[in-house]
Amino acid sequence: MSSTVELTKENFDQTVTDNGFVLIDFWAEWCGPCRQFAPVYEKAAEANPDLVFAKVDTEAQPELAAAFDIQSIPTLMIVRDQVAIFARPGALPAPALDDAIGWARKMDMDEVRRSVAAQQAENAGQAGDTE
């Protein structure tokens, strides 16, 4: 029994909206490193039942892969409070995955939101400068 959720373009937004902490593994069946990473990811999912561990099959869901500009697989993304705070290509070893989860758990999301808002305001200001 898998403890991960299969994400599709139909359930992606709802999953990310309904859950404050979602890890997403972008993968494909033909990808050797993806197959190597799968048991590490499953083990982490079992060890962290309070988090949502999801998978996006990039072959079946090319729109999602394109929307997140996934260039290589596997790529791990962590989304907290609907903000992508971590994205890294490559098959992470278990200690690195545990470190990434620990780092993401400690992330001050109020600070992240302030930073995102400041970046958006700066981008809006730059867009106004070009008119």
Catalytic residues: 31, 34
Query: Is the Cβ–Cβ distance between 74 and 35 less than 8 Å?
Result: no
Distance CA 18, CA 50 (A): 13
Return the beta strands (E) in 2-130 as ranges.
5-6, 21-27, 52-57, 75-80, 83-89
